[in-house]
Amino acid sequence: MRPASFLLAAAAALLAAGPAAHAQTSRDREKEPKESDLGSRMSSKQELGGKPLSQWVREVLDPDPGVRENAMRTVVLYGPASREAIPNLVAELNDTDTSLRVNACLALGTTGLGKDEKVVQKAVDTLKRLVTNDTQTIVRFQAATALGRIGKDGKPAISSLIVALGDRGSWEIRKAAAFALGQVAGPVSTDDEGPDMRALRALANATKDVCAQVRLEAAVSILTLGPPAKEEDRAAIAAPLRTACNDRDPVVSIWARVGVMRFHKVTDDQLSMLAAALKNPRLYVRLHAVRAFGVIGPEARTRVGDLIDLLDDREDETVLLAVMALGYIGEPSRRVFTALEKLAKDPDERPAIKQAAGEAIKALKGEQNKPKKPAGQPEPKKPEPRKPAARAG
């Protein structure tokens, strides 16, 4: 049994709603650093260690390397206000001291790059150089991780991240690069045709990596980026995903199947294979399988019976995620309500599970109470905008 707070954290980490959240789905994915309660409340005028933020920012460039490192670790505790330190943190990316380059990457991954275009460009240019050329493995790893956390601003680093995806020095660098490509290579605006094909091809190739964690990260990033606009490109990326559906690692197989369904359509055969993973004796496999159903959502309604069966699982984490998945799928049937109400009213059930069951019931009742369009009735046409009267010349 686990504490309720752990269960809620597990749910947040392992069950995201909707395609946009797929970026954080692998079992060991580098997670976006959360602002602490302290940092989210602090202003730049408040003091830490007897110093205001402005002094900590100056100390990021102090002659003493120990002072610089301590300053970098401290400024991020100010939350959003810490962005005042971004130019100095960017300068520290070029420090000759390995540990300081590492800490600069960590700090920028937490604060982001801000809105100054020149600073953003300088930071990304430096990070993409570090990710491929730095002699220290830990620096290359942290540079790739920082680019992933930075997100779309890191788009100019796609080519460098593709090189890092082939780094033979460390599987962790390849994994971090796969994660980062999933974050930076998506369309920036609605005018873009789709995700960057260079990134998708590299990720598709990485689904054959010798390391299962790299293969998993690649499959999840492909899922995150989504299908390209052209059908021939879509087919080219879907092919290695289909091969990965039979990966020797069951978790890689799970997310490859979800990716295939996103690229094409949800099928009963693929859902059946995912349902089989719900019965895997290994907990982490069951957790990923149930999360996959939550990500698929309403199109997985034919398998709600399998998720209901999972409510009797011996592990609380699995039960909690099964409850949440039922809420995301949104099948307001009597059998679903009965199963959830049993959990919500059980006096011996864990508080986190009871709370999740109650919230799922509310969500399902909201779905149930939506007015339904009578069968065969067409959607009402929207009135066309009136044309302005022609001006007299």
Q: Could you write out the three-class secondary structure of the chain?
A: CCCHHHHHHHHHHHCCCCHHHHHHCCCCCCCCCCCCHHHHHCCCCCEECCEEHHHHHHHCCCCCHHHHHHHHHHHHHHHHHHHHHHHHHHHHCCCCCHHHHHHHHHHHHHHCCCCCHHHHHHHHHHHHHHHHHCCCHHHHHHHHHHHHHHHHHHHHHHHHHHHHCCCCCCHHHHHHHHHHHHHHCCCCCCCCCCCCHHHHHHHHHHCCCCCHHHHHHHHHHHHHHCCCCCHHHHHHHHHHHHHHCCCCCHHHHHHHHHHHHHHCCCCHHHHHHHHHHCCCCCHHHHHHHHHHHHHHHHHHHHHHHHHHHHHHCCCHHHHHHHHHHHHHHCCCCHHHHHHHHHHHHCCCCCHHHHHHHHHHHHHHHHHHCCCCCCCCCCCCCCCCCCCCCCCCC
In a domain, 135, yes or no: no
In a domain, 337, yes or no: yes
In a domain, 274, yes or no: yes
In a domain, 148, yes or no: no
In a domain, 250, yes or no: no
One-letter amino acid for residue 123 of the chain: A
In a domain, 56, yes or no: no
In a domain, 342, yes or no: yes
CATH number for the domain that contains residue 278: 1.25.10.10
**What is the C-alpha to C-alpha distance for residues 2 and 49, in angstroms, rounded to an integer?**
36
- Are 26 and 16 in contact by the 8 Å Cβ rule? The answer is no
How high is the pLDDT of residue 147? Answer: 96
Q: Helix axis angle, 316-329 relative to 283-296, nearest 10°? A: 10
Backbone angles phi, psi at 328, to 5 degrees: -70, -40
Structure tokens given for 391? 């001006």
Structure-derived torsion over alpha carbons of residues 200, 201, 202, 207, reported in degrees to the nearest 10: 90
Q: Which residues contact 67 (CB under 8 A, 6 or more apart)?
A: 59
Q: Which residues contact 276 (CB under 8 A, 6 or more apart)?
A: none
In a domain, 352, yes or no: yes
List the one residue out of 126, 133, 124, 125 whose CA is nearest residue 151.
124
Q: What angle do CA 13, 158, 131 make, to 5 degrees?
A: 80
How high is the pLDDT of residue 229? Answer: 86
- pLDDT tens track, the chain, 393 positions: 334 433 444 444 444 433 333 333 333 333 334 444 444 556 667 888 889 999 999 999 999 999 999 999 999 999 889 999 999 999 999 999 999 999 999 999 999 888 889 999 999 999 999 999 999 999 999 999 999 999 999 999 999 999 999 999 999 999 999 999 999 999 876 667 789 999 999 999 999 999 999 999 999 999 999 999 889 999 999 999 999 999 999 999 999 999 999 998 999 999 999 999 999 999 999 999 999 999 999 999 999 999 999 999 999 999 999 999 999 999 999 999 999 999 999 888 889 999 999 999 998 988 655 544 444 444 444 444 444 444 433
Domain of residue 332 covers: 1-31+265-369
**What is the C-alpha to C-alpha distance for residues 285 and 291, in angstroms, rounded to an integer?**
10
List the one residue out of 12, 5, 3 whose CA is nearest residue 321.
12
Q: Which residues contact 72 (CB under 8 A, 6 or more apart)?
A: 60, 85, 89, 92, 100, 103, 104, 106, 107
Number of domains the chain is built from = 1
